[in-house]
Structure 1
């Protein structure tokens, strides 16, 4: 019998394909690059990078020496991005010996050097979006119970299950089903190009405290709108934090 495939959606590093949507990169309102169909290049499996043909780059690119060598794409050259009196140093990169011919003359931009990235007219957060990632939210009546050090922290029969390609399902709970008095907000923040910006809480029960073990999205992006205002527990954070779904424990570290 063939083993069940757990994650068939891992994109192999070195994968290159033509994008299907317009991508723009901006800095302080200046358009640095604008392409109706840039190349999507997976240097790593988790997300692609955008590569722009020379004619799609609006800024002047000034050679700035050698860049880091990629194990997949080969040696690189880096460029300063010149926008009038402003210079974004070493903010563009090219791989002249890349395996794919179309890539060799194309440029990729340092994500954090740009202050705005747009897919069509919608802002992209954190990193480039993969066309193969899908996010769904599903209302459920499954019984979710969260326990820390023997104390019940949350219990619900109305979770919202969030599924995301390549990741385990997550169970988001209404706050009325959670002992919010046991949660304390932290300064931790994470960003997802599919879900948005998450804020975190630590959870305390008796003498036990697990830091940044609960998160939630107040104003998630469209794909994750179903979990707005809900909270999710992260059982992989600590063996003491137990999440049970229909009597089965999930997510043990």
Structure 2
């Protein structure tokens, strides 16, 4: 899922490998200019606004945006006297965010003991995602985490034969599924609603949130819990799968051209990043704010 998250090339569980004679370091960090204007909103105020953001990719983490200190509005961050040690980037000092009557401890951090090879992060501040109200690229809100430029979704139409069974019951059968190829994941197969026996689906409690596709709703199939899901209103970038249904091959029998599919290693999403977890409430908050 991107460059350093899930099974990306810099992740600790990557499915690929670099063709080099000597083994690479166990952990590699990668920093690059974002080349997008990014803003941070807190307590109804813009507290940072920059076109010079650096994005840090760290193994097993979501990408994190670092703002020049000069692009952070004065008076909103106060050093709280606490420091931690980053294994590669050294001493890290933390800040409390202030605006009006609102006070949020550990809302931002800065690496103050950087080694020379990481000087690109010097005099830069990162904001804890869930401590802020919102992050924006230009005038559009970014939810989940800073956008990973190496994460993509490609959707292809196919005429392959897909059959889903729960026991002896055929739950879905189609020769027109959509296949979604998402960075760091095995392909996922989406079935048009017209080719699904919807009487087999029972809406399940709880939703999950993908920063790249939107809000997913889940379905039980008989005794099989959360065996299927659907993005009822997928985001524009992946709108083709809106309303389609996908099925978990480790819960029900999913066969493609007669071959039973299995859940690929590392396929399940790990929801926790450097300072937060993916929470559907953030998407609801985004809708309420707009």
Partner of 2:9: 10
**Quick check: 1:243 aligned with 2:254?**
yes
In 2 relative to 1, CA 68–252 (structure 1 residues): closer, same or farther, beyond 3 Å? same
| Unaligned residue ranges in structure 1 (runs of 5+) | 1-6
1:177-188 to 2 correspondences below 5 Å: 177-188=195-206
Q: Distance in 2 between matches of 1:74 and 1:168?
A: 36
Partner of 1:148: 166
- Measured against aligned partners, the alpha-carbon deviations of 1:7-53 in whole angstroms (never above 9, x if no partner) come to 99423541111111111121243112211131100123453101111
Q: Distance in 2 between matches of 1:189 and 1:68?
A: 34
- Measured against aligned partners, the alpha-carbon deviations of 1:221-249 in whole angstroms (never above 9, x if no partner) come to 2221110111111223x3xx111111111
Q: Is the 8 A contact 1:242 1:252 kept in 2?
A: no
Aligned length: 240
| Unaligned residue ranges in structure 2 (runs of 5+) | 1-5, 12-27, 265-290
- Measured against aligned partners, the alpha-carbon deviations of 1:146-190 in whole angstroms (never above 9, x if no partner) come to 112232111111111111112111111111211221211122222
Provide TM-score, normalisation by structure 2: 0.76
Provide TM-score, normalisation by structure 1: 0.87
Out of 95, 101, 107, which is 1:85 matched to?
A: 101
Q: Distance in 1 between matches of 2:153 and 2:255?
A: 23
Q: Distance in 1 between matches of 2:239 and 2:262?
A: 24
Q: Is the 8 A contact 2:164 2:255 kept in 1?
A: yes
1:127-166 to 2 correspondences below 5 Å: 127-166=145-184
In 2 relative to 1, CA 85–189 (structure 1 residues): closer, same or farther, beyond 3 Å? same
Out of 42, 67, 77, which is 1:52 matched to?
A: 67
SS at match of 2:9: coil
SS at match of 2:186: coil
In 2 relative to 1, CA 62–166 (structure 1 residues): closer, same or farther, beyond 3 Å? same
1:218-233 to 2 correspondences below 5 Å: 218-233=232-247
- Measured against aligned partners, the alpha-carbon deviations of 1:44-71 in whole angstroms (never above 9, x if no partner) come to 3453101111011125211113244333
Q: Is the 8 A contact 1:14 1:73 kept in 2?
A: no
The root-mean-square deviation of aligned C-alpha atoms, in Å, is: 2.0
1:100-111 to 2 correspondences below 5 Å: 100-111=118-129
In 2 relative to 1, CA 28–225 (structure 1 residues): closer, same or farther, beyond 3 Å? farther
- Measured against aligned partners, the alpha-carbon deviations of 1:184-208 in whole angstroms (never above 9, x if no partner) come to 112222212211111111221xxxx
SS at match of 2:149: coil
SS at match of 2:85: coil
Q: Is the 8 A contact 2:43 2:99 kept in 1?
A: no
Q: Which has the higher strand share?
A: 1
